[in-house]
Amino acid sequence: MTNWDDLRIFLAVARTGSISGAASLLGVQHSTISRRMRKMEQTLGARLVERKKTGYELTPAGENVKQAALRVETEVLGVDGAVLGKDSNLVGPLRVTAINNMASSVLMPMFSSFSRAYPRVDLHIAVSNIDSSLAQREADVAIRLTNTPTDTLIGKRMVTVASTIYGSRDYLETVREQRREPKWVGVECCEFHKSWTRHSRGEQGHNFYCDDTLLTLAAIREGMGVSYLPCFMGDAEPLLERYREPDPSHNLGLWILLHPDLRRTARVLAFRDHMISAVNEMKDLFEGNIQDRDLPARKRGA
């Protein structure tokens, strides 16, 4: 027999497909994951994973262990949820996952003000464009851009996020003077931007690609071409301007999501209410309603 800690490590390897991924997920050393996996295989007398070019794959024995581990996990998380759900103290850890371009920019002042208001809550921010599994307690709260949130989670749509095409002011001025079509920056950051770009650029190809929205912003700033950005990023950047006005069909919802087990947890609810209020105060920025005259002087080059 093995213990829950071993099964938790095994499930992390199974989910991420690598020792390093499991180590990052659990916040432990790479060597710890390797050692515990070897010991678990020795205890069970069977190989659980095989290393392939694409990562670790489960053996038939590993698949059997995974199913058993998932059942144990369900029971453990059920107990954890029952305890957490009755928590009424604004004390303890709070794990939040948000996409990188928001967490490092427009959301950071909101996170900061929450920490000042609730100093006994240990706020952990993880950036990811991939949904962390709230069911597996990889996070307590997720902030996501989507129009189709997972229906098994409790969520609220905080605001609509508009997007449009941006270019640097100097680059777009040159394009207009030469009366030519702009080049497009190739984006691979998300399916939204990829599909919008394919539709807008026509047959034009790319010779420069980015897989992160912050990288796309930097490329546009350097005059590499035009690309889609959320208005909260593009309108706040002094060197950029809109190439065209936002298309309402590209609007996305900004959601705050939590697991049903945490619907009575005080620190989770305090964070949810704080974020809803803070986001609402910046509603015009998110919805693309801030025009050039409304932006700070530095935006207008004053």
Please give the model's pTM, rounded to 2 decimal places.
0.66
Q: What is the pLDDT of residues 35-90, one digit of tens each?
A: 989 998 988 889 999 988 778 889 999 899 998 888 887 766 655 555 444 455 68
Residue 80 lies in a domain: yes
For strands 154-161 and 209-210, give the pairing: unpaired
pLDDT at residue 77, as a whole number: 62
CATH number for the domain harbouring residue 43? 1.10.10.10
CATH number for the domain harbouring residue 274? 3.40.190.10
How far is CA 285 from each of CA 174, 232, 298, rounded to the nearest angstrom? 28, 5, 16
Mapped onto helix, strand or coil, the DSSP state of residue 221 is: helix
**Domain that residue 56 falls in:** 4-85
Query: Which three-class secondary structure string do you get for 34-82?
Result: HHHHHHHHHHHCCCCEEEECCEEEECHHHHHHHHHHHHHHHHHHHHHHH
User: For residues 184 and 194, what is the distance between their CA atoms, to the nearest angstrom?
Assistant: 11
Count of domains in the chain?
3
If asked whether residues 149 and 201 sit together in one domain, one would say no
If asked whether residues 66 and 212 sit together in one domain, one would say no
- Of 7-16, 118-127, 149-158, 254-263, highest mean pLDDT: 118-127
Q: Which contiguous run of DSSP H or E holds residue 122?
A: strand 121-127
If asked whether residues 133 and 25 sit together in one domain, one would say no
If asked whether residues 140 and 210 sit together in one domain, one would say no
Residue 45 lies in a domain: yes
Residue 291 lies in a domain: no
If asked whether residues 64 and 97 sit together in one domain, one would say no
